[in-house]
Amino acid sequence: MPLVFVHGVNVRRDKNAGRGVSYDDDVNNRNALFQKFLLKEIVPDPQKVTILNPYWGDYGVKFAWDKKSLPQSAIEELGSEDELPLILLNQIQLEQELNSDTVLLQVAKKSIADVIDLLWAVSAEDVDESQAEDLADLAVRAVDYAKHNPHPHWLNNIRNDDQLLRDLQEEIDNWQPQGTNSNAEDSPQWEVLGSDGNWNSISRGASRIKSAVISLVGRPVTNNIRGVLK
């Protein structure tokens, strides 16, 4: 039985052009995550499952003048690059004011799983087809780490997001997934998955999150994401 993913009403192929990532890249990233997380829990071989992604965006509503006559929302004023990070941060609902240098650390101290979800969700938007599966594999390892280390003690020594990313990479790269051992046949694969190339994608995602928080500075809704998303 195939898996069918039907996208939302706001999806258009041309909306991705500004990000340098195609609609097809988004599909490949999502398919890789489906195979690594969802399908492996319900089928013996996720690679054999057909994943269908029917595209119907071109048949959706088309606004006159590309909505130029409508007032922009706060998110549109900030820019589309800021939209996803701010929406995700809003869902996490941090209690303290946001700081662009420590926003990831703030999330991590609440939940290491949340900061991993945030980083991978934002980073996946800028990954092409050649990187999709590797990033999904690294996500599997990161999630396993978070599952067994929900509040790692090393966070107490972290002062900013740069340090967080450095130590998080080291921890995840050195993490031995539960149920494996150092002599297992797939151990070399885990080592490859922690390559700098994959972490460069995560670093770019972290930069997007920081930029989104910086974009709030000087606005009446500074440090109040809910005000932006109304």
**Each residue's pLDDT tens digit, 24-62:** 888 988 999 899 888 988 999 999 999 999 999 888 877
Q: Residue 107 pLDDT more than 80?
A: yes
What is this structure's pTM?
Answer: 0.73
Name the residue type at position 101.
Answer: D
Q: Which two tokens stand for residue 183?
A: 């002599």
Judge whether 94 and 106 are in contact, CB under 8 Å: yes
Strand partners, 51: 3
pLDDT digits (tens, 9 = 90+) for 130-153: 788 888 999 999 999 999 999 999
Q: Taking Cα atoms as reference points, which of 79, 112, 82, 109 lies closest to residue 94?
A: 109
pLDDT bucket at 112, cuts 50 / 70 / 90: very high
> What value does the mean pLDDT take over residues 97-104?
92
pLDDT band at 16; cut points 50, 70, 90: low
Q: Using one digit for the tens of pLDDT, what is the confidence trace for 171-215?
A: 999 998 765 444 444 443 444 444 567 899 999 999 999 998 988
